[in-house]
Amino acid sequence: MDNKAAAHAFIALGQETRLNIFRLIVQRGDKGLCPSQIQELLGVPGATLSFHLRELLSSGLLTVERQSRNLIYRPNGDFTNQLLGFLLDNCCGGKSCGVTLKKLKTRSS
């Protein structure tokens, strides 16, 4: 992953509403969510939600699939893993420090 792609993703996640949308969609995993479900759960107006979903899509953090008349938004797992790898690539000066995603998750809880 290059710096430009990582910066675009971090900028997208640097806005509170987009961060909340992304976290909600990540919680649903491969099942994904349609915009009406996101609106209901987060109370984000439709036009605002559309704007934020476009930003998350353009940053690479989400994917979208049309199912009949619905759009289903899912996390882009490959991109998200690359982003995490980008963050941890030079952790501890290249020495093994034992930082794992499991430990990071425990620390943030």
Q: What range does the domain containing 55 cover?
A: 3-108
The domain tally of the chain equals 1
State pLDDT tens for residues 55-73. Answer: 999 999 999 999 999 999 9
State pLDDT tens for residues 73-95. Answer: 999 999 999 998 888 887 777 66
Give the CATH number, domain containing residue 50: 1.10.10.10
| Phi, psi for 67 (deg, rounded to 5) | -125, 105
